[in-house]
Amino acid sequence: MEERFEQFIRERQYLQNVSPRTIQWYRESLKWLPCVAPSQDQLTETVIQMRERGRKATGCNATIRAINAYMHWSTGAKRKCGAGCEHPRIQELKEPQEVLPTFTEAQIKRLLGAKPKGKYQRRIHVLVLFLLDTGCRISEALGVQVRDIDFDNLLVTLDGKGGKQRVVPFSFELRRVLFLHSKDCPAERLLFSTRTQTQLGRRDMLRDVKLHCERHGVAPPTRTLHAFRHTFAVNYLRRGGSVFHLQKVLGHTSLDMTRRYANLVTTDLQAVHERVSLLSKR
């Protein structure tokens, strides 16, 4: 990689203390640039190339944000990028506003009532319950250590994006499950780990969770692992939870992210409409 790119990454790493995943994001994103000082036309061509290779708008925008951060850093400006910046930059693409897939109530009941057989099936079952009860990201769940769980106060400490920790509550029922799952594990061990006590991979868990769903008669929705998070969010609001509290539980930096993330599903809108419709006889 070009020395200029490496300098940008080093400063982000050591001066802003960004996470290793963010460093990897910068590296992958900057590979799209043709040179260290691209023109506006070259930036436009970069987006065209991404689209020609089949990247979706959401994927392009993730790369665009990293490139724009680099372009702003290249100017030497100390303030945040915004109005008044004259450096070349890429405008983010319009993303389709789709309702994210969720598990249905019937599917959730099937997963909750699952009777797994064997050590590895039980591990996947506990992971599914953990995701449904806390609403955390799969990367956060796989990073939890036994010592991060406060069984007395029903709280778990999660390492979120950007190295930001947050404390999330969980239910009495999950406490019972987690206690049985971890009772023989030392405090420093990962809650969910491989046979050699190393961290599980996201892709392996996606495969195993899909198999777990199919084994119990549940058709896994698209973005299966993230669907647990969205299912949690929708049901949190559906059962009277506050959007402000939900923001803290999910670890979102802004309320707008939470509102967009937890859009009510169509069935909720239909139920409300039936109550408020002037034509309804109820």
Chosen domain end from 74, 97, 128: 74
Over residues 99-108, mean pLDDT: 88
Q: Domain check: are 28 and 167 in the same one?
A: no
Q: Has residue 208 been placed in a domain?
A: yes
| Pair 190, 242 in one domain | yes
Portion of the chain with pLDDT greater than 70, in percent: 93
Look at residue 264 in the predicted model and tell me its pLDDT: 60
Confidence check: pLDDT of 280 > 70: no
Which tokens belong to 235? 């049901």
The answer to whether residue 275 scores a pLDDT higher than 80 is: no
**Is 157 a domain residue?**
yes
Residue 274 above 90 pLDDT? Answer: no
Q: Residue 96 corresponds to which tokens in the numbers above?
A: 């389709």
pLDDT tens per residue, range 144-165: 999 999 999 999 999 988 778 9
Question: At 101, is the pLDDT very low, low, confident or very high (cuts 50, 70, 90)?
Answer: confident
In tens, the pLDDT along 180-194 reads 999 888 888 999 998
- Residue 166 sits in a domain whose CATH number is 1.10.443.10
- Cα separation, 129 vs 224, in Å, equals 14
List the domain range (segments joined by +) for residue 22: 3-74
What predicted TM-score, i.e. pTM, was given to this entire model?
A: 0.78
pLDDT tens-place string over residues 24-47: 999 999 999 999 999 999 999 999
Same domain, 245 and 165: yes
**What is the pLDDT of the chain when averaged over all its residues?**
89
Q: Is residue 199 part of a domain?
A: yes
Q: 25 and 56 in contact (C-beta within 8 Å)?
A: no
CB 112 within 8 A of CB 83: no
Segment 39-65 shows an average pLDDT of 95
pLDDT of residue 98 exceeding 90: no
Q: How many domains does the chain have?
A: 2
